Amino acid sequence: MVNAPNSCAGAVSNSLRQRVGGMGEVWLGERSDGEFEQQVAIKQVAYPTPGLVQRFRQERQILARLAHPNIARLIDGGVDADGAPYLVMEYVEGVPITAYVRDHALDLRARLQLFLRVCGAVQYAHQNLIVHRDLKPSNILVATDGTPKLLDFGIAKVLATTDVAAPTQTAARLLTPDYAAPEQFNGGAITTATDVYALGVVLYELLTETRPPRTAPFDASAAVTSNEPTPPSAAVDHPTGVVPRRALRGDLDRITLTALAADVQRRYATAEALGADLQRYLDGRPIAARRDSAWYRLRKFAKRNRYALGDAVTVVAVSVAAAFISLQQAQLAREQAARAEQQAARGQVVRKFLVGVFEQARPDENQGQPITAQQLLQIGEAQLAAAVGNAPAIRADLTGLIGSLYWDIGDYARAEPLLKAAVAQSAEPLVTDEIRARNLLGLAAVESEKQAFAAAYGHAQQALVLARRAGRAGLSEISDAERVSANILFLRGDSKLAEPLLRQLLAADRLNLATAPALVADDLQLLGSVLGELARYDESESAFREAIQIDSRSHGDRHSKISSNYNELGQMLLHKGDLAGAEAALRIALDGVRQLYGPESQPAWTVQSNLFRVLEMQGRFAEVLPQRLRMLEQEKRCRAIPGRKRLPSTAICLGSTIASSASWIRRSRLFARHWRSGPGFKAPAPRPTAPTRSSTSALRWHCRVTTRRQRPRCAQRWPFSGSMNCRRRNG
């Protein structure tokens, strides 16, 4: 028995022990720091072994990342006088969710609405790359005001990191058998779908007031991996109870059994997907969960009973299996015919759609003015609803396509709402898994551009599950999802995690180099960026050079991918210190993007800015300064174009150039003139960049100049407004 944690923290004192868990004890305490008082829960390791202490520290790190109204928040933590770690957490005065719905006699709708809030909390954890691994009613308390709170992340796992408990046997014991997913017993991969299984058990309890029956409770691991659960409607004791049996038949049976599928590929990929299907049920709309095919059930039956089948039964089973195979082949032929019919219908809709777009692009319609790609997309967006009619799968496909094309030309403001709409439309039952995966990947790309890396990674992983479920039809999306996931890890600074994923993907794509060289080139380009970030410059350059060779063979010397590779190569060589090599690579990239997109395009300005950095590193300020001034004037003329919000960034870079050439007063004036000229500007880095910090120095110089000129109010106003703008625009 451990002692009460009297010495946990100066502002916290304990009173009563609340419960004992697998990792420690939880005490009720009082927190008082002289300003306010509150009850808190104090969690302390019962027996501080190195493994438990490490897990305790991981739990603290996990809780520090989570801030959600349905997750108990971390208040404090540390080590007591005896060296034992402790956590001070929000105290939840409540009861397990199953007891709450029973004691309050909640009807079916109220139970599902309460459960949806739990799904939201779990999805939030997943978007922060955290899998709980121990979801159960005792870890989901409902407070007196009806608010559910998710507790106890003691055995949670951070996705894309290694678990702190190395041995598999140790990890296997860290679970609750009645709620654990099959992969937790058999050593399979732990993913967001692992929590979905536990949510399925909790949902089963909320609907039936009993857990899914297992035939061998003494051997839970065998039971959970070999038996299909009884449908909830068949487990209800009273046909006319609080949740009547007839209300569970059909959709709720299918939703619950999908969440409880032993095969992770047949399970909901995320808590969000489970919650979305329940919301469709509540709204009276068709659900996405599908029934198992007869052939699938037959195979599962044979697997479960392979030792019990005698010779005679085996003969019958073989005959039945042959009949089922014939039926399956007939069904496959019907599905292929239906797919061909669907493709033909899609072709007709797309033809009608394209005809409508190009009719609007005729000279008679636009007074003979040249039409841009962006204008074509805007016309297509306006024509979409009329073209697709009542065809949800085609609508989801084309909406996502237009959103992705907006992304390709750099119009992120228009891309994001379209891709979000495409993901929502993909929930319709007729939409295929490969279309769902494709739309999720498009949304993940936009989210990563906005630095919403948790959401982007979650959507990329969800797309990966859907693409794998699609089989051969989703092979392209599988590769894309793995590449997007690796890119997100790289962008958020986890290059060490991204490298092995890319190496594995590259090895698989090299097998198809002859038929799909573009995939290998894409892998090599991203690998080059990752290796450059890890300061392995020679390997990085080799990857970029090979990508350029492959793209040149496939596309010729003038292609956007080649320019992109040279741009990335130039930036890597700049970090390496090879200024001559960086300049040569960036000049090739600049020539390419100017020929492809025009001299005043967004890609041209991006590459030109990178080239200016190299020239400044060589001390060639006199050469850079007039070109930056021209760029500033060009961008001022293009400010009305959607997506062009680089003006303040260009002004800052120009100021940095002038600062480096010692023209501080001129720089401060430019800064003062252009700092406010781009509403909505946000620097790409979470902390102020070097040019921004240099611009703040210019701001202080401007303040001194205005003070000398007897303008004290201006001098007072500028530092305040400038510092606020720096905070707002740099996060």
Give the tens place of pLDDT for each residue, 445-455: 889 888 888 89
* Confidence label for 305 from pLDDT (cuts 50, 70 and 90): low
Give me 382's structure tokens. 């306006």
Better-predicted residue by pLDDT, 260 or 37: 260
Task: Round the average pLDDT of the chain to a whole number and report it.
Answer: 72
Instruction: Specify the fold of 94-292.
Output: Transferase(Phosphotransferase); domain 1 (1.10.510)
Q: Is the pLDDT of residue 684 over 90?
A: no
How many Cβ atoms are within 10 Å of 390's Cβ, its own excluded?
A: 6
Give me 141's structure tokens. 């308390």
Q: How far is CA 154 from CA 22, 63, 74, 127, 446, in A?
A: 9, 10, 13, 18, 33
* Contact indicator for 384, 353 with CB cutoff of 8 Å: yes
Give me 564's structure tokens. 């992109």
Helix (H) / strand (E) containing 85? strand 85-90
Give the tens place of pLDDT for each residue, 452-472: 888 999 999 998 888 888 776
Give the tens place of pLDDT for each residue, 479-503: 888 899 999 999 988 899 899 889 9
Q: Point out which residues pair with 130 in neighbouring strands.
A: 158
* Confidence label for 531 from pLDDT (cuts 50, 70 and 90): very high
Share of the chain above pLDDT 70, in %: 60
Q: Which has the closest alpha carbon to 486: 470, 506, 469, 466?
A: 506
Give the tens place of pLDDT for each residue, 373-400: 666 777 767 766 666 666 777 788 888 8
Give the tens place of pLDDT for each residue, 669-678: 555 455 444 4
Give me 110's structure tokens. 């109220």
Which pLDDT value is given to residue 291?
59
Lowest mean pLDDT among 48-52, 220-224, 337-341: 220-224
Which pLDDT value is given to residue 36?
60
> What CA–CA distance (Å, rounded) separates 121 from 126?
9
Which pLDDT value is given to residue 238?
61
Q: At what angle do helices 560-576 and 517-533 cross, to 10 degrees?
A: 20
* Confidence label for 229 from pLDDT (cuts 50, 70 and 90): confident
Which pLDDT value is given to residue 723?
36
Which pLDDT value is given to residue 380?
67
Which pLDDT value is given to residue 85?
76
Q: Point out which residues pair with 96 in neighbouring strands.
A: 141
* Confidence label for 191 from pLDDT (cuts 50, 70 and 90): confident
> What CA–CA distance (Å, rounded) separates 375 from 73?
48
Which pLDDT value is given to residue 705?
43
**Where exactly does CATH 3.30.200.20 map onto the chain?**
12-90
* Confidence label for 163 from pLDDT (cuts 50, 70 and 90): very low
Distance of CA 266 to the CA centre of its chain: 21
**Where exactly does CATH 1.10.510.10 map onto the chain?**
94-292
What global pTM score does this model have?
Answer: 0.47
* Contact indicator for 433, 229 with CB cutoff of 8 Å: no
Which pLDDT value is given to residue 327?
54
In the chain, helix, strand, coil percent, each to 5? 65, 10, 30
Q: Which one-letter amino acid corresponds to residue 271? A: A
Which pLDDT value is given to residue 149?
92
The mean per-residue pLDDT over the stretch 634-652 comes to 48
Which pLDDT value is given to residue 341?
56
Dihedral angle computed from the Cα positions of residues 248, 254, 259 and 260, in that order, rounded to the nearest 10 degrees: 80
Better-predicted residue by pLDDT, 322 or 76: 76
Q: Is the pLDDT of residue 697 over 70?
A: no
**HSE toward the beta carbon, residue 281, CA cutoff 13 A:** 23
Which pLDDT value is given to residue 543?
94
**Is 12-90 a domain of CATH 3.30.200.20?**
yes
Give the tens place of pLDDT for each residue, 405-433: 877 776 778 888 889 988 988 888 778 88
Better-predicted residue by pLDDT, 89 or 156: 89
How many Cβ atoms are within 10 Å of 70's Cβ, its own excluded?
A: 16
Lowest mean pLDDT among 276-280, 328-332, 397-401, 430-434: 328-332
Lowest mean pLDDT among 290-299, 387-396, 518-527: 290-299
Q: Which has the closest alpha carbon to 48: 89, 91, 82?
A: 82
Q: Is the pLDDT of residue 142 over 90?
A: yes
Which pLDDT value is given to residue 536?
94
Q: Is the pLDDT of residue 284 over 70?
A: yes
CB within 8 Å of 716: residues ≥ 6 apart: none
**Is 494-618 a domain of CATH 3.40.50.620?**
no
Better-predicted residue by pLDDT, 718 or 23: 23
* Contact indicator for 487, 498 with CB cutoff of 8 Å: yes
CB within 8 Å of 684: residues ≥ 6 apart: 451
Q: Which has the closest alpha carbon to 140: 72, 200, 74, 207?
A: 72
CB-based burial label for 617 (10 Å; 0-12, 13-18, 19+): middle
Phi and psi torsions of 158, nearest 5°? -85, 120
Q: Edge to edge, what strands does the sheet with 140-143 contain?
A: 94-96, 140-143, 148-150
Q: Is the pLDDT of residue 593 over 90?
A: no
* Confidence label for 197 from pLDDT (cuts 50, 70 and 90): very high
The mean per-residue pLDDT over the stretch 40-68 comes to 73
* Confidence label for 255 from pLDDT (cuts 50, 70 and 90): very high
